[in-house]
Amino acid sequence: MGTPYRWIADELGMKDATFSVGQLVWHRLFHYRGVVFDVDPIFLGSEEWYEQVAKSCPPKDEPWYHVLVHNAVHQTYVAERNLDQDDSGERIQNPGIEAVFSGFDGERYSSRARSN
């Protein structure tokens, strides 16, 4: 399954996203688990944020992920190169889960249907 921006990525020759919404991930540098709830085809944050937060200087022209962090109340914005798949099969504990997802099948979360 591609990202909502796949046509942009295809047109511009960008890398396809490795992870998808609902997938469990592990942060390689900061050693936390989480679940992807949105995917950007490239870095879409501000230059100020990138300079202050992205200390490892990950590439901006590859996918970035919005992640709900396990055992926390916050979310993070993470470059693809800093993530691995989490095969633990364990639920993510974050208060944002119920707003974004409708269920968990032991491997991934199911997105809630969005309405306009």
Give the pLDDT confidence score for residue 13 in this predicted structure.
58
Side-chain-facing half-sphere of 41: CA atoms under 13 Å: 15
Q: What does the domain layout of the chain look like in residue ranges?
A: 6-111
Cα 76 from Cα 2, distance rounded (Å)? 21
Say what percent of the chain tops pLDDT 70. 84
pLDDT one-digit tens code per residue, 35-65: 999 999 999 999 999 999 988 899 999 999 9
Residue 68 CB partners (closer than 8 Å, separation 6+):
34, 35, 37, 75, 92, 94, 96, 97, 100
CB 82 within 8 A of CB 28: yes
pLDDT band, residue 5 (cuts 50/70/90): very low
Rounded to two decimals, what is the model's pTM?
0.84
Cα 108 from Cα 17, distance rounded (Å)? 16
Instruction: Write out the CATH class of domain 6-111.
Output: mainly beta
pLDDT one-digit tens code per residue, 78-94: 999 999 999 999 999 99
Cα 51 from Cα 53, distance rounded (Å)? 6
CB 72 within 8 A of CB 94: yes
